[in-house]
């Protein structure tokens, strides 16, 4: 049996490489759950940036006009993405770094 050399951390998740997905997944799930409920909800429910309709076309709502709830949902999404980005090696990061929602990451 292979020995896992990385120890647990309260501030950073275990790093995913090509061989340890089944070990990594439950740990990163609980790591995100401990960040806050908004981060977890962004992961399981997805996150859609606030939109407005201008001349019949749906466009992103300017951040300056976001409500507190919209801002908090965005922060939850960013926290979850940050946790995942910090929990993957460079090869995996290259595959997911262009995504902007937790669900896509």
Each residue's pLDDT, cut to its tens digit, for the chain (105 residues) gives 444 455 556 667 778 877 888 888 898 999 999 988 899 999 999 999 999 999 999 999 999 999 999 999 999 999 999 999 999 989 889 989 888 888 888
The full length of the chain comes to 105
**CA distance between the termini of the chain:** 30
Quote the pTM value: 0.79
């Amino acid at each position: 049996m292979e020995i896992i050399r990385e120890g647990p951390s309260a501030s950073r998740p275990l790093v995913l490489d090509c061989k340890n997905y089944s070990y990594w997944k439950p740990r990163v799930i609980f790591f995100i759950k401990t960040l806050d409920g908004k981060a977890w909800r962004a992961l399981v429910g997805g996150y859609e940036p606030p939109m407005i309709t201008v001349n019949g076309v749906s466009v992103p709502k300017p951040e300056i006009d976001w409500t507190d709830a919209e801002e908090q949902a965005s922060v939850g999404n960013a926290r979850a993405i940050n946790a995942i980005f910090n929990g993957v090696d460079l090869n995996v990061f290259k595959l997911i770094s262009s995504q902007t929602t937790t669900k896509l990451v």
